[in-house]
Structure 1
Amino acid sequence: MTPLVTAAVLLAAFAHACWNALAHKIPDKLVGFALISGGGLLLGLVAALFTGLPASGAWPYLCASAALHIVYYALLMTSFRLGDFGQTYPIARGTAPLVVTVLAAVFAHETPNGWVAAGIALSCAGLTGVALWGLRGRRPNWAAVGAALGTGLSIAAYTVVDGLGVRVSGAPLAYIAWLMTLQGLVLPVYAVRRLRGRPAAELRPYVPLGLLGAALSVTAYALVLWAQTRADLAPVSALRESSILVGAAIGALFFKERFGAPRLAAAGLLVLGIGLMLHAG
């Protein structure tokens, strides 16, 4: 990966952790995700006015990705509702790189060389360590862990679908605009039906957070999709999951969740793995 692609993915990782933290901060998860999804819908519609349509071959990928993103939102909401941000977020994100590596080899014929494979393996070990620290001495919430693992599988699925789709679209910006439009329809409609009767004054304080989260979400994924047109899917996915470090730091600073020496050691493995991938590039 070139320095420009690396910088874009790292910026995407930071933005992604921030919008997830905003979603976690809103007490009613349905409200938070509906605002973020609805904000993405508005941004997608505006962008689509300027980008036009992607190539016809991209539409099956867009429809499949929109469905997978809805599943992703539902599982992520569940994991955030049941578990700590500092653990469910790393588990969800840490599951994806290894699965993406396998799927990219099968569907995109991208087989990583030894350096990249070692880097991905070390990164995943570090991500797992960041995720599991804090479980010592108490039973994990298996429902939260299961939802986070399901989230990770959905991330891997839409990452590969979008990596293939954006390459045949001929226009990455058009692809992201229409993806945000398609996936942004369902949650707001569902939320309106579920929240009917709730006073507007009760929901209004969360609108700025939701719209900020939407802007960060669209920016993060647009950068990732662009990077996927310039580099292989597996290393982009693994590097993107450096967002876990940002998420763990946010959990410690703002949600008062522990970030001790074992997590620092696990973070070191993650950084080493990223270094190997960049060395290979």
Structure 2
Amino acid sequence: MVLLVLFAALLHASWNALVKSSPDKFLDIVLVTSGSAVFCVAALPFLALPMPASWPYVAASVVIHIVYFALIGAAYRSGDMSHAYPLMRGVPPLLVALLSRPLIGEQLSAGEWGGILLICGGILGLLLAGGRSGGMSRASTGFALVNAVAIAGYTLVDGTGVRLSAQPVAYTMWIFLLTAPPILAWALLRRRAGVGTHVRARWHLALIGGAFTLGAYILVLWAMTQAPIAMVAALRETAIVFATGLSVVVLKERFGWGRPAAAAIILLGVIAIKLA
């Protein structure tokens, strides 16, 4: 299970890097969500429907995901991926861990708590290791922190909903299918003239990004049916290690030498969870 979630983390970081590499982050997010919906349309006729009890969670998740995708674009437009991504991904696991017991009655062992705290600390350490640079801005920080709350929200909603669904793959695909049309409609209202040009230039990357984000979330939600939600949420955020490498190697963003130490702390957190 741990290895599958780590693979999901790699997929997640990869599609975020695709968006960050685009000259138009907003339209790239639109294309990625639309690309994921294409796969859902093709697959859902062959899958059983999620159980009725899970549909309110699907609806809530769709709303939160629309906010989430909008905030990703805003954060990446206003600052470096290597600044925004650690904030967006480092804070939610701690929020989820703190809220899991009062909201869903899920208790964590001491070892699981230790692993989660190490992962969160290492992720935020990556941010501090980067130092202050032109890539850091109040706007980027604000968007990233608001998105952290959104991420914690959909994590708890979907972790609960997928357990009620009895169909993790179909549950995930319905979320992605229903999220795409509002985002596409918003794009057409705001940027009708630019959508066609962007599609022609980056349609292949949209399909790749769509496959990556859909596949990553299917794996994560399946894992939440097998293990505590907070533990899976923390493991998923090891995506930051992959994202940091991609932002430096592919996107040529600044590299702080404290980051290897922070990555080692994250690895210790993964090991602690594995041994818990």
Compute the TM-score of the two structures, normalised by the length of structure 1: 0.94
1:256 paired with 2:275, answer no
- Counterpart in the other structure of 2:49: 53
Match of 1:14 among 10, 13, 23: 10
Q: For 2:142, give the aligned amino acid.
A: G
**169-178 or 189-198: bigger deviation:** 189-198
CA RMSD, 1 decimal: 1.5
**C-alpha distance in structure 1 between counterparts of 2:68 and 2:104, whole Å:** 22
- Counterpart in the other structure of 1:166: 162
* Within-5 A mapping of 1:224-235: 224-235=220-231
**19-28 or 187-196: bigger deviation:** 187-196
Unaligned runs of 5+ in 1: none
Taking a change above 3 Å as real, the CA distance of residues 135 and 153 of structure 1, as seen in their structure-2 partners, is same
**46-55 or 196-205: bigger deviation:** 196-205
Judge conservation of contact 2:79–2:136 (CA < 8 Å) in 1.
no
Compute the TM-score of the two structures, normalised by the length of structure 2: 0.96
Taking a change above 3 Å as real, the CA distance of residues 198 and 118 of structure 1, as seen in their structure-2 partners, is closer
**C-alpha distance in structure 2 between counterparts of 1:119 and 1:34, whole Å:** 35
Judge conservation of contact 1:87–1:132 (CA < 8 Å) in 2.
no
**C-alpha distance in structure 2 between counterparts of 1:197 and 1:149, whole Å:** 32
**C-alpha distance in structure 1 between counterparts of 2:76 and 2:133, whole Å:** 21
Taking a change above 3 Å as real, the CA distance of residues 138 and 78 of structure 1, as seen in their structure-2 partners, is closer
| Structure 1 residue 34 displacement after superposition | 0.7
Judge conservation of contact 2:118–2:269 (CA < 8 Å) in 1.
yes
% identical equivalent positions: 39
**251-260 or 70-79: bigger deviation:** 251-260
The one-character-per-residue Cα deviations of 1:145-175 (angstroms, maximum 9, x if unpaired) are 1111111111111011000000000111110
Judge conservation of contact 2:51–2:165 (CA < 8 Å) in 1.
yes
Number of aligned positions between the proteins: 276
Runs of 4+ deviating beyond 2 Å: 132-140, 197-203, 258-261
Unaligned runs of 5+ in 2: none
Judge conservation of contact 2:33–2:180 (CA < 8 Å) in 1.
yes
Judge conservation of contact 1:45–1:178 (CA < 8 Å) in 2.
no
Judge conservation of contact 1:65–1:158 (CA < 8 Å) in 2.
yes
**184-193 or 228-237: bigger deviation:** 184-193
- Counterpart in the other structure of 1:219: 215
Judge conservation of contact 1:43–1:180 (CA < 8 Å) in 2.
no
